[in-house]
Amino acid sequence: MIKIIGVGTIKEEYIKKAINLKIATIQHHQKIEIISVNDEKCPENLSEKEKAEVKRKEGEKILRFIKDEDYVVALTLEGPAFEQNKFKKQLQQDRLCFIIGGSLGLAPAVIQRANQELSFGAMTYPHQLMRWVLLEQIATALIE
């Protein structure tokens, strides 16, 4: 079972369609669940304290969906990048849960709960698009 918890909703129809196609492909090989939690309003001129509060609130929403038995992988810029073989082995966990943060990243409490961090490189992706990128990697690993 793979669970993906992501902050925010996908508004762009072309991204929704791409995500749904990948989910359909994955479901032929493994059960998958996608959970979206509402993002917090985040004006551009937030102080560091306000940014921390946004991440804390989003983190609380994420943590509600994580079970004690879940093996949690937090997608962060600081985590190590995996090669495809290591990523494929990761997918063999019984209850695998990937976490995708919002535009400000993940709350420290979510990262602390994670069993490990994973990076898709130093580049920054919009969190909506990151869902598709993650699903693409999952589908590729399961089909190989």
Domain residue spans in the chain? 2-8+17-40+51-143
What is the chain's Cα-based Rg?
15
Mean pLDDT confidence for 101-109: 94
Q: Which has the higher per-residue pLDDT, 138 or 123? A: 138
Dihedrals phi, psi of 38, to nearest 5 degrees: -65, 135
Number of neighbouring beta carbons within 10 Å of residue 4: 23
Whether the per-residue pLDDT at 127 is higher than 80: the answer is no
Q: pTM to 2 decimals?
A: 0.93
Tell me the average pLDDT across 77-103: 89
**What pLDDT shows up at residue 80?**
87
Is the domain defined by 2-8+17-40+51-143 classed in CATH 3.40.1280.10?
Answer: yes
If you average pLDDT over every residue of the chain, what do you get? 92
Residue 90: pLDDT over 90: no
C-alpha span between 27 and 101 (Å, rounded): 24
Read off the pLDDT band of 116 (50, 70, 90).
very high
Strand partners, 97: 3, 72
Alpha-helical segments (H) within 45-121: 48-63, 84-90, 108-113
